[in-house]
Structure 1
């Protein structure tokens, strides 16, 4: 661990107040993760996600059949735009945002939402039902996150992910095209999903082995370096985004290890990178918004203080600097 005594306070009182002035999706997580508020206070604030602010607004954007924009991954069951952009308005990205907001999976609204998606949404690529999965690990990893969170059986998708793991311990969406080296993007999506699945179901020895292998893949590369040379192969990994979509960055990697409570010295450089990005006012900025259509913006734009990144960075530092 590292950091002086002064650096062990991840956010100042003014920053906490600024965070609490945000959407219910932010407030309940600040209360739980940074302030240690009583469970009933946290639960009451979390319950507002379905009825107010971003959560209610995104739920209201659904089609009558419960999908968003008539598609699982692309609006209208379409294809990627010719310019290579990515719309973020269909069902998978919308559900991932609601997961990030912390929509209570036991809420009647959430249960009805999941039932409609299960009944009506099918993947563009293979026409399979939504919760039966697609073919790409980066999609299936996020689907396992959603299924585990919202209480849907995704055992079959997990079995596919276990079979898709590459020899170096991670995953790559281009493996069907011959890729033999894992991708940070695919690997983080799968790790998050398998960790959620393990928490929800108890997991299995096979899931545990896959988690440890994927973790080693990232740790051996210090979360952002090329193993062979130590170079940083993708500059965008050093810029923090939200929502992260399918993309990897260092803060997302550290959030995974915090959730898994895996403390390893090889995380140290990544932690100090996060610490160094704190602005003079005590906030962290939004740095790398992933281009594409959205239902509505969650932040004020790149270069501006970000409540999401401040919350995420602060709880990573609180975990790392806290007692082992």
Structure 2
């Protein structure tokens, strides 16, 4: 480890004077929250620069990295979301804004592949829409923290196919592996999807190069995304993960929580399915995921922002 050079008292004073000047430049910010954010950012940023004695070349590398992230970002790829995820910032923001509440289901990251305008499917419908993979039956209920069933809750679901790709990563613009549906009068939901498999986050850009240089894997643990919304209840963004997946302790975006790890039961070919689907020559899996939504007044923070892929 490199030794941080000693800083003279005169040099320290020069640096502290600059921090005070920059902080004071935000004193007249009309919005008190913006003022708080900017001054805290300045303090932590300057502390970092001073602690590691950041070189001009390293700062230029930082600028180049962020510029490259901007250049590779498109309507179908958000490199800054990937960077936030890979640094654990997305997960920590979720933690701060979704404090554990009673028995409410825990939240985790949105990720860069949520897309608005998904097709609607009925209870028991197939969100795979032809995407390749092993069929998977998902069912459960949505209740509030008092145990009351939530009828008409909207569930957005999206996942990668068996190749580890989301629909938006294909060039033809088709929609598959994503849908939305509503709970019935008893709060129940059910649908067909694809048994999740591990996949890498996009790593052909600056974030991928950063992971490579720091000897980190780009792989995500196998999962399915959920977003649950209902009037008067807190919007939940979460995943479910596959019990036994070797990547549960090494998820590239730190999204795994123990309560979200579920047992997936593989069914032999020919096993009758809940909705009478004929799968005579194919195995399939099933899982149950009961969702508990906190009341809007039970948790702080704003609603999650829709992040486009």
TM-score, normalized by length of structure 1? Answer: 0.21
Rg (Cα) greater in structure:
2
TM superposition score normalised by structure 2 = 0.22
Which structure is higher in strand share? 2
Q: Report the structure, 1 or 2, having the larger helix content.
A: 1
